[in-house]
Structure 1
Amino acid sequence: MTTTANNPVEAFKQERAERVASYAHRADLKAAADAFNVVSNRDQYSYNFSWMGRPIIQYPQDMMAMQELIWDIKPDLIIETGIAHGGSLIYYASLMELIGKGEVLGIDIDIREHNRREIEAHPMFKRIQMIQGSAIDEELVAEVARRAEGKQTIMVCLDSNHTHDHVLRELELYAPFVTVGSYCVVFDTIVEDMPKGAYDRPWDVGNNPKTAVWEYLKHNDNFEIDHQIDNKLLISVAPEGYLKRVK
């Protein structure tokens, strides 16, 4: 039997897992991360980054977590609601290009023409499809279902309208696409942890993606929050938003 004592690769993995688990009990580390989360969100820190030339508007920590998940799961399809500049679509597509399979389906109620033009001209567009329309329109969801037919492994990312009702409906409609062992990642759950009134938008404390996740999980035990990812990242716009399908 191979043990970690004579297997340095496994020993490193175990050491890392133990360190990550310990962060759940590190009040000083969590307080420092929480302070950065609040101030950096206030100052739009996530708007400063690009991937392969396109603005990604995500925290590097979350994108590292997504890379780890995608490399491990190797999904045939990633469904993402919310496109914006298209940086995350291109990011996911580039990882699939490295893996050698898979495609990304992006959905947005308003794909602005200048963004569409840049996305369609990008080398990674060969692995991207886009649909314009409301993510919670049932006819659009039926089209998504048709495009998902035959896909063995599916991941979902929810990153459009961040109100409680909208995200809860997205979870009801899109979480069923997720295959066992894969993830539904709900972005911007950080809204619940920000000071009240921090956003000039319809969402706020008590009305946001995290409250939608909590409500959804009350009635659905197919998913569990992957707290290991929360402990590892500490700095994230998606705390308690990495939902693993367990059955």
Structure 2
Amino acid sequence: MAEDSPRAHRDFQTEVAQEIEEMGRDVDVQSLSRQWMVETLKHKYTYHFSWMGRPIIQFPQDILAVQEIIWSVKPDLIIETGIAHGGSLIFSSSMLELNAMSGGPQDAQVVGIDIDIRAHNRAAIEAHPMARRIVMIEGSSVAAEVISEVKLKAAGKRSVLVLLDSNHTHDHVLAELDAYAPLTTVDSYCIVFDTAIEDMPADAFRDRPWGKGNNAKTATWEFLRRHPEFEVDKSIQHRLLITVGPDGYLKRMY
């Protein structure tokens, strides 16, 4: 049988799926991964990476997972809360460009929302080669007028992907989920970042308004109790092992 035959590919994919399931059941490797995250948090590890010249502030593992989702889902709209230095917007825009080159939506856009878009960050984003697909909205992601503006942009879109990564308190994330998760189209994802806060030591975020018991994961759990149309895609966190989004990769099933 040829190494690159369809059957060989299916066998490979089956083997990979089995290995991922095994990692998800391996309590030792899960514990080791969490401990690694705790130790690297002290060094602000996620701040040390960029995408096409702009800081992205994510684990490389999560960047790769989102790449796979964007390539598979082929969204014509990506909604992102939280802009910071703009690396994630540039990343999403570059993926939409690659999708367009391979027959995906030609006019796909990424809409970024932030309560405070610093002038130097806005200038750098707008000057970037990937800027043409980016729309930025300054304002609170949970403000009624901002939500209305985003809903107008999502109206009639075939495929919508949502990325939530702004204020990580329970109430704020839950409000974002209530506002934007319903815009997610079937078979696409609403990804909630920084759910890992719940798994960190209680004193890990003493200078932040969020922490254990009050964070993106607790908000996600509450949202899921009311929204059976979404399910946690556990295969992603089992595959990554190191992720800021455990229980945060929400797939819309219907």
TM-score (norm 1): 0.96
- Distance (Å, rounded) in 2 between the aligned partners of 1:181 and 1:5: 28
Q: CA deviation at 1:103?
A: 1.2
Q: What are the residue-to-residue correspondences of 1:98-117 with 2, within 5 Å?
A: 98-100=98-100, 101=105, 102-117=108-123
Of the candidates 223, 230, 236, which is equivalent to residue 216 of structure 1? 223
1:1-247 to 2 correspondence within 5 Å?
A: 7-100=7-100, 101=105, 102-199=108-205, 200-247=207-254
Post-superposition Cα deviations, 1:73-98, rounded to whole Å, max 9, x if no partner, equal: 00000000000000001001101101
SS of residue in 2 equivalent to 1:123:
coil
Cα offsets for 1:98-153 (capped at 9, x unmatched): 11132100000000001000000000001110000000001111111111122100
Q: Distance in 1 between matches of 2:189 and 2:52?
A: 24
What's the % identity of the aligned pairs? 54
Write the letter of the residue equivalent to 1:172. D
Q: 1:123 to 1:5 in 2, by over 3 A?
A: closer
Amino acid in the other structure paired with 2:13: K
Shift >6 Å, 4+ stretches: none
SS of the residue aligned with 2:247?
coil
**Structure 2 length-normalised TM:** 0.94
Query: Relative to 1, partners in 2 of residues 1:6 and 1:88: Cα closer, same or farther, differing over 3 Å?
Result: closer
Unmatched tracts of structure 1, length 5 or more:
none
Unaligned runs of 5+ in 2: none
Superposed CA RMSD:
1.3
Question: How many residue pairs were aligned?
Answer: 244
Shift of residue 28, structure 1, vs aligned partner: 1.9
Distance in structure 2 (CA, Å) of the matches to 1:137 and 1:69: 28
